[in-house]
Amino acid sequence: MFRSILAAMALMAALPAAAQETGGLRMRNQTSVLDQIESNRGCPLSSTSVTVGINKATSNGSSARQLGATQSGGSTGCQPLVSTRVVAGVNLALGRGSSADQTLQSNGPRGVLATTAYTRGANIGYGAMSTANQRLINQIGR
């Protein structure tokens, strides 16, 4: 009786340990990824850039132009483990006959483990005869 209880307790203690061993991130090519992590010693672990712009032409016949660019890349030989790039823009041509032109660009490196690119824009030509032109570029390098 005592032995069976002891065996059950040992099994219960062993199960969480097994779960911990099988959890975590599954890598496609473990050797290659580990080599890249190893070669990344001394480099930043992550790279994040946020490029945000608001451009508006409110008066009648007005013109508004905006150009925003973010260039982020590791130093030579460095590749971040995690790369996050955010590009968000609002472009408004509100006045009659107005013109709003917006270009937002982000260039960054690809992450060894993960790369997240988030691109969102709102482009509105409201005024009569108005023109709204928006370009959002979220470029991930090699």
Partner 1 sequence: MFRCFLPAILAALPLLPITPASADSMRCTSVNGNVNCAGSDAMSCQTVNGRRVCISGHGDVVQSFGPGSTYSDPGDDEGLDDEPPAATPKRTPGRSLFLQRDGARLHLRTDRLSIDRD
d(CA 115, CA 82): 6
Q: How far is the CB of 105 from partner 1 (least distance, A)?
A: 9
Structure tokens at 1: 């009786």
Q: Which is nearer to partner 1, 14 or 116 (CB)?
A: 116
| Residue whose CB is less far from partner 1, 10 or 122 | 122
Residues of the shown chain interacting with partner 1 in the complex, contacts defined by CB under 8 A: 83, 93, 110-111, 114-142
For the bound state, the minimum distance from the C-beta of residue 74 to partner 1, rounded and expressed in Å, comes to 16
Give the three-state DSSP class for 13. Answer: helix
Residue whose CB is less far from partner 1, 41 or 86: 86
Instruction: Tell the smallest beta-carbon distance from residue 114 to partner 1 (Å).
Output: 5
Quick check: 75 and 109 in contact, CB under 8 A?
no
| Closest by CA position to 59, among listed 98, 92, 90 | 98
Compute the distance between CA of residue 37 and CA of residue 25 in angstroms, rounded to an integer.
14
**What residues are paired with 54 via a beta bridge?**
90
Nearest of 82, 92, 77, 80 to residue 127 by alpha carbon? 92
In whole angstroms, the minimum distance from the beta carbon of 8 to partner 1 comes to 41
- Give 65 or 120: the residue with its C-beta nearer to partner 1: 120
CB of 39 to partner 1, least distance (A): 19
Compare residues 37 and 117 and give the one whose CB is closer to partner 1.
117
